[in-house]
Structure 1
Amino acid sequence: MSVFRQPGPSGRRRLDGVTDEDSRYEAVRSRDGRFDGAFFFAVGTTGIYCRPSCPAVTPKRRNVRFFPTAAAAQGAGFRACRRCRPDAVPGSAEWNVRADVVGRAMRLIADGVVDREGVAGLAARLGYSARQVQRQLTGELGAGPVALARAQRAHTARVLLQTTGFPVTEIAFAAGFASVRQFNDTVRAVYAATPSELRAAAPRGGRADRRTATPTAGIPLRLAHRGPYQPGPVFDLLEREAVEGVEDVTGTPGTRTYRRTLRLPYGTGITAVDEHPGTARTGSGAHPGGWLDARIHLTDLRDLTTAVQRLRRLLDLDADPYAVDERLGADTRLAPLVAARPGLRSPGTADPDELAVRALVGRDEAARLVQRCGKSLDAPCGTLTHLFPEPAALAGTEPQGALGALTAALADGAVRLDPGADRDAAADALRGIPGLDARTIAGIRTRALGDPDVAPPGPDLPDSWRPWRSYALNHLRAAGELEY
């Protein structure tokens, strides 16, 4: 039996419905890494939940339960497998694609909104009551916002325990827990180990990294992705767009390192990501995934989860390249381009407001704004000296023209580009700003709002490319058929 179903209206392979539990089990039996993060399975006889590609002996079908999220499996009393580490899989691509309340909520939870603002803050950002948000998330994902945020905190805690030498008490609050007791109870429930035992069980590489992980040196991380990844075009774009003072790209193609500064909820950060990807296979028959090595330096460890998620959006690491390539590869014009660059991504941004300003003014003017209005880092790092100026600062010093109108709208919330923003509403608001043309708005929608299906003004794009027209255009650009 094939694990695939025909793509639904969204263009994704469909794995929903009662009959598809057999398909899910087939994916587990074949250890198919294409579905890591799309669902999880748990084994009643062991009390453990896993990713589909787990290399352990396949359990009997009658002992298996399926869950849409790790949080749902944890809520049902299952603990994470120590062998396949299901909490470390890339996030579900579903949340990048979907524009409904559940998709918007998941993007906000990943950004740490529940930890910072609670469920009430999440609901207010979505324009719904807390009860409505709870009902929708629980009904579709088997877990409410608190449980989903708890699962994310547990993952952050494990990363810090196994890759840094920071004190356990410091890690507890850095991961977003309200108390050390809550931290200890959650770690035991999710991993069936105390924090000290979890730290001692770190992979050899993690123990080695821990010796160099300090507040000054930063935290070493592996940013996982599913399926093939084409880092070259992504780093080409980052190098071409890099704004002096905020970003830099060093090295030669294939071995480049991208660095940038970040403004974060509790402080600031400097991140570095290496172009050369790591690759791995999990189990026989699994499709390869991999990671990009990164290091994040933070002035406040509570920003780790948010910083990681913003890097993931910038690099489009949670995409489903199988769904994208399957749809676009069926087109006669795109088929050779997809074959040449499987897994080509559609980069986003680490700061949506910044991206909107840069889309309007261009690289050189953005660099001038950084020097004039950007906040200097307390401790510059090489060529990284500033944070990109906030919209309010730009609105105060550059009040005239389209830039003044855009930054004023961003500053007062008339235009919202955060991870939970309604894409259509944001585009409508942008169209109301004088001086913003349709092409600029399309670029903002693609990059700042992470919309995978944007068609800028110009020749009509075939409906058969939906819902991945943003990716299709990147293939044409990478092949030299379109200008950036």
Structure 2
Amino acid sequence: MDEETRYEAVASRDARFDGAFFFAVETTGIYCRPSCPAVTPKRRNVRFYPTAAAAQGNGFRACRRCRPDAVPGSAEWNVRADVVGRAMRMIGDGVVDREGVPGLAGRLGYSARQVQRQLTAELGAGPVALARAQRAHTARTLLQTTVLPVTEIAFAAGFASVRQFNDTIRQIYARTPSGLRAESATGGARATRAAPALAGIPLRLAYRGAYAARAMFDLLADEALTSVEEVIGRPGARTYRRTLRLPHGPGVVSVDEARPVADAPRPGWLEARIHLTDLRDLTTAVQRLRRLLDLDADPYAVDERLGADPFLAPLVAARPGLRAPGTADPEEYALRVHLGGAGARRLVEAYGDPVERPCGTLTRLFPAPAALVDDPVAGPLATALADGTVRLDAGAGREEAERALLTVPGVSARTAALIRMRGLGDPDVAPDGGSGDAAWRPWRSYAVWHLLVGSPALRDQAVSSSPQL
């Protein structure tokens, strides 16, 4: 897109581009999402930025009306396998907060200077600024949904000091942390009625375009692993819950199939709630839940490409916004698809750590690979995951990971392709080992799901050969 096309998107308040770029208005000092309902600014006063961090770095503060920091992530990072795409996925997973820029660079196989240069050149902001923008959004969420003291929120969001936290909030939101909390309808009376440790952190997980929630929740229900996952409620009003192993401790995440907001003009988010042992894991938990549900996808681009195929067109029309499900834990998924349903249940029963506070039927965590290295069946793959021979983290190279998986005894080409498709979120994989239809690229993974969901016979055949597909 050139700048004139971007301005047309802003003038028409086109929500398709929310998260794909941001615009700022020089006369007001504010930056917004493209669909901001405010009066369209004059073209000469508008500047465009690829990321919120770039707009913030140029001195603009977030619009209070459209909340540009709450948009879905750019679908571009799901598609791209280059260093910038991998870096953005890792920053989203909290790598910079936990390991700093040297840790990010080391995982990418580049120097810190090279990473800084590439991100700044393409995104208008380096890794520190990108992580800082993410911390600010996490802090706003905690301020407006919990009653935690401001000091605790500062460190939970990843800031190194309270002063840094205060300065960042003032710069981005033109409010003090206390002022930001006071003006929020969700951060005032409602949040004070329950402590976050008991109620969890309520969140709205934004998505763009249509979202075929029923198909997603049908899949989650079919795959639910006893003691680790559950789906409760009736179709149309179900809740998915699961335990999750996070960097600083275990957590429980839940998300509702339907959004219970009667006066909302159109769907745009899923209601979720996150219970954490350590609030520093909030960003990571949110990103992993988003990857599981494929919430950063661009359904407009996917449906346009696949809907042009005469064979797929009826399936796309029947389920607009169908997503390609991912996973909340790539290493867990790899072991589950490798062993199958019965084998995964055995691992949970034999090796799964019990959770301190059971929630419904959720009583265990899926075991970490290091705990499974001596298992006679899971051992080879678990060892490769534990020692780093196979990397499946947010920034792993997809081709390299698939090649490494194929060196593990017992891992088939189909299993490796499925892990690449769902564990690493690759949108362009044909799990049967074929190339698929070239007209479906770069969305072959989505085409697979349309075929499986739209054809019960084909789905039954696929599930019988691979229960985790």
For Structure 1 versus Structure 2, the TM-score category normalised by the shorter chain is over 0.9
Alpha-carbon distance in structure 2 between the residues aligned to 1:460 and 1:160: 45
Stretch deviating more after TM superposition (318-327 or 434-443)? 434-443
Q: Which runs of 5+ in 2 are unaligned?
A: 464-469
Alignment-derived partner of residue 425 in structure 1: 400
Distance 2:206 2:195 in 1: 19
1:116 aligns with 2:98: yes
Q: Which residue of 1 aligns with 2:458?
A: 482
Map 1:296-375 to 2 at 5 A.
Answer: 296-375=274-353
Decide whether aligned partners of structure 1 residues 154 and 207 sit closer, same or farther in structure 2, where only a CA change above 3 A counts: farther
- Residue 182 (structure 1) shift: 0.7
Q: 1:299 to 1:227 in 2, by over 3 A?
A: same
Alpha-carbon separation, structure 2, partners of 1:209 and 1:337: 43
1:421-461 Cα distance to aligned partner (Å, 9 max, x none): 00000000011112111211111111101000001226652
Cα deviations by residue, 1:253-273 (Å, 9 ceiling, x for unpaired): 111111100111111101111
1:38-117 pair list within 5 angstroms: 38-117=20-99
Name the SS of the counterpart of 1:258 in structure 2. Answer: strand
| Paired-residue identity, % | 72
Q: Does 1:408 align with 2:383?
A: yes
TM-score, L = length of structure 1: 0.92
| CA apart distance, 1:212 | 3.0
Separation in structure 2 between the aligned mates of residue 333 and residue 279 of structure 1, nearest angstrom: 36
CA deviation map 1:305-347 (0-9, x unaligned):
1000000000000000001001101100111111110100001
Letter in 2 for 1:465: W
Distance 1:282 1:49 in 2: 24
SS at match of 1:268: strand
Deviation by residue 1:278-302 (Cα, 9 ceiling, x = unmatched): 689999xxxx551111110001111
Report the Cα distance in structure 2 between the residues aligned to 1:186 and 1:282, rounded to whole angstroms: 31
**How many pairs are equivalent?**
459
Distance (Å, rounded) in 1 between the aligned partners of 2:91 and 2:209: 24
Which shows bigger deviation, 473-482 or 137-146? 473-482
SS at match of 1:31: coil
Q: CA deviation at 1:208?
A: 2.2
Structure 1 partner of 2:138? 156
SS at match of 1:362: helix
Q: 1:157 to 1:204 in 2, by over 3 A?
A: closer
In structure 1, C-alpha distance between the alignment counterparts of 2:379 and 2:202, rounded to whole Å: 39
User: Taking structure 1 as reference, are residues 310 and 210 closer, same or farther at Cα in structure 2, changes over 3 Å only?
Assistant: farther
- Residue 364 of structure 1 deviates from its aligned partner by 2.1
Q: Is the 8 A contact 2:147 2:191 kept in 1?
A: no
Runs of 4+ with deviation above 4 angstroms: 204-207, 278-283
Equivalent positions of 1:7-46 (< 5 A) are 15=1, 20-46=2-28
Instruction: Answer whether contact 1:134 1:145 (CA < 8 A) is retained.
Output: yes
Q: Which whole-Å CA distance do the structure 1 matches of 2:362 and 2:98 have between them?
A: 28
Q: Structure 1, residues 34-73: CA drift from partner, whole Å, max 9, x if none?
A: 0000000000000000000000000000000000000000
The 1-side partners of 2:32 and 2:192 are apart by 26
Is this contact kept in 2: 1:162–1:210, CA < 8 A? no
**Which secondary structure state, in structure 2, belongs to the residue aligned with residue 331 of structure 1?**
coil
In structure 2, what is the equivalent of residue 385 of structure 1? 363
The equivalent position to 1:224 in structure 2, one of 195, 202, 206, is: 206
Partner of 1:3: none
- Seen in structure 2, the aligned counterparts of structure 1 residues 148 and 458 have a Cα distance that, compared at 3 Å, is closer
TM-score (norm 2): 0.95
* Counterpart Cα distance in 2 of 1:163 and 1:213: 10
Please name the residue that 1:4 is paired with: none
Aligned equivalent of 1:8: none
Q: Distance in 1 between matches of 2:60 and 2:362?
A: 44
Which segment is superposed worse, 132-141 or 200-209?
200-209
Unaligned runs of 5+ in 1: 1-14
Q: Give the structure 2 partner of residue 7 of structure 1.
A: none
